[in-house]
Structure 1
Amino acid sequence: MSAPFRFPRFFVTSPAPCPYLPGKTERKVFTELTGQHATDLNDALGRIGFRRSQGVAYRPSCIDCAACISVRVVAGEFQPSATQRKMLRRHADLEVTACKPWTTEEQYALLRRYLKMRHPGGGMADMDESDFADMIEQSPVKTYVIEYREPSVDGRPGRLVGACLTDQQADGLSMIYSFFEPDDPKRPGLGTYIILDHIIRAGRANLPYVYLGYWVEDSRRMAYKARFRPLEKLGPQGWSRFEPDQRELPLGR
């Protein structure tokens, strides 16, 4: 009797500087997502902490560090805080559309503004239009670009203020990468709103979880993820609830 699909081959990257913790190095284990069973493989790997990038699933495999922790929100039990309810009301006029994963010039221009203001020295700072198209369009699984626009005028689409590359997995939504209008005084907290919108949509679709990627306790860049409760983390014994320290959480994103 033959197996329904071939067991994937895994590879390990060379060590590189960690983007989250100064002085640390990172290493990743990864495998290709190809063939007719790519969706099933991505779902299975997602449940054990892997993330997707184009046609590859990866997770940290650092030699002397285990700071990166996979986290997910329990969508069906989520109750927004007073601040989060205010954020939902503030941006309730936005028109949200789940688009096919095809890039547009408008999306790329928004990404460039976002990277320039929020991550000027990051690994994506030099991303050109071809790189952006690869990130969005090269997906072997069910993927959307969720667009957030200001209200349409005279039948014309409103201004694009946010977008998120999102995978729909068997047990939830996986937020691959989000970007939004940075530091717009008329639209504060768009990053938070995009996560809230995903949690609400997952709950309405009876999808149990929203996967937020990795949380690093000592990285302020990752601290915002701890504001969405109930939160589960992946440990040696599987997924479990946890309560991150909220003493120094940033107020907005």
Structure 2
Amino acid sequence: MRHTLPIAPQFYVTAPQPCPYLEGRMERKLFTALQGDSAETLNDSLSKQGFRRSQNVLYRPSCAECSACLSARIRVADFKPSRTQRKVLRRNAHLRRNATAPWATEEQYALFRRYLDSRHADGGMADMDIFEFAAMIEETPIRSRVVEYLAEDEDGTHDLAAVCLTDVLDDGLSMVYSFYDPARAGDSLGTHVILDHVEIAREAGLPYVYLGYWVPGSPKMGYKAKFDPVEVYFRGRWQEMGDPAAYSSETHPLSTDPIAEQVARISLPDSRGTR
């Protein structure tokens, strides 16, 4: 009888390119393909180790002299919205949530374009066309949802106010990418979407909401520290963030280990899906 051994994920490193968060720095990523029958189990396992999903790829920053990027997640059971966040919830109480399968629409893309043109016109996604947008939404080998937030107009019709592509993990929700109507910037829709995901996770009995990377020293990432208690994946383990000022974005030649050592420490699920 011939036995087939499970194929372990292969890890690669991207070429250095300008960092989107800290000016004057170069970033590189450690990544692996997300495919096959074990894709969901692999995604669950590596998400707990600071990885993020982008379509059919799992990645984690692995810069030569910088370790500023820290994966962040909200601890749902202990989260209580601040006074400001409660105001955001009241301000957007009229929005209707609509969760669907990961299927891109022209209305979503139109909102996405307005969002990019207003807030990230010089970012890495600025030239994304409708086909690339559809790939971002639809190319997922795991359990994903598109969560839409609709605002009712005076004539009874509903306009798309915000959208979040969300992965469902075994221990939480991972907010892959969200965007909203820039004309409603005063409504703090980005904050509302996060707060609503905390509520979705609570209703589903999931302990965490994964927010992506928090970067000390990056103004565009600073909002993630406001969802107390938030945990960060720091030096190989999850810990409560505490004082954001305690984290440094300074570079140092010994701040990251060699790639081979990083890969060796990654815990992979076995062929039976256990960890």
- Distance of aligned partners of 1:146 and 1:54 in 2 relative to their CA distance in 1, 3 Å threshold: same
Offset from partner CA, 1:49-73 (integer Å, 9 cap, x none): 0000000000101011001011100
- Distance of aligned partners of 1:170 and 1:4 in 2 relative to their CA distance in 1, 3 Å threshold: farther
Offset from partner CA, 1:172-213 (integer Å, 9 cap, x none): 00000000011426x520000000000111111110000001
Which residue in 1 is equivalent to 2:168?
Answer: 168
Tell me if the contact between 2:73 and 2:209 (Cα under 8 Å) persists in the aligned partners. Answer: yes
Q: Does residue 194 of the first structure (1) align with residue 193 of the second (2)? A: yes
Offset from partner CA, 1:15-41 (integer Å, 9 cap, x none): 001011111000001101110110000
Letter in 2 for 1:218: G
Which residue in 2 is equivalent to 1:251?
Answer: none
Task: Measure, in 1, the Cα distance between the counterparts of 2:239 and 2:157.
Answer: 42
Q: Does residue 62 of the first structure (1) align with residue 34 of the second (2)? A: no
Tell me if the contact between 2:49 and 2:236 (Cα under 8 Å) persists in the aligned partners. Answer: no
Tell me if the contact between 1:146 and 1:164 (Cα under 8 Å) persists in the aligned partners. Answer: yes
Q: 4+ residue stretches of structure 1 with deviation over 2 A?
A: 2-6, 151-154
Task: Measure, in 1, the Cα distance between the counterparts of 2:110 and 2:73.
Answer: 30
Any stretches of 5+ residues in structure 1 without a counterpart?
247-253
Larger Rg: 2
Task: Measure, in 2, the Cα distance between the counterparts of 1:47 and 1:6.
Answer: 21
Task: Measure, in 1, the Cα distance between the counterparts of 2:157 and 2:197.
Answer: 21
Offset from partner CA, 1:67-114 (integer Å, 9 cap, x none): 101110001111001111111011011110111111111000000000
Aligned to 1:131, the other structure's residue is in SS state helix
Note the 1:205-224 alignment, pairs <5 A: 205-224=204-223
Letter in 2 for 1:60: P
Aligned to 1:150, the other structure's residue is in SS state strand
Highest relative contact order (Cα 8 Å, sep 6+), 1 or 2? 2
Task: Measure, in 2, the Cα distance between the counterparts of 1:143 and 1:152.
Answer: 29
> How many residue pairs get matched?
244
Any stretches of 5+ residues in structure 2 without a counterpart?
246-275
Task: Measure, in 1, the Cα distance between the counterparts of 2:181 and 2:212.
Answer: 21
What TM-score comes out, normalization by structure 2 length?
A: 0.85
Q: Name the Cα RMSD after superposition.
A: 1.8
Q: Does residue 93 of the first structure (1) align with residue 108 of the second (2)? A: no
Which residue in 1 is equivalent to 2:203?
Answer: 204
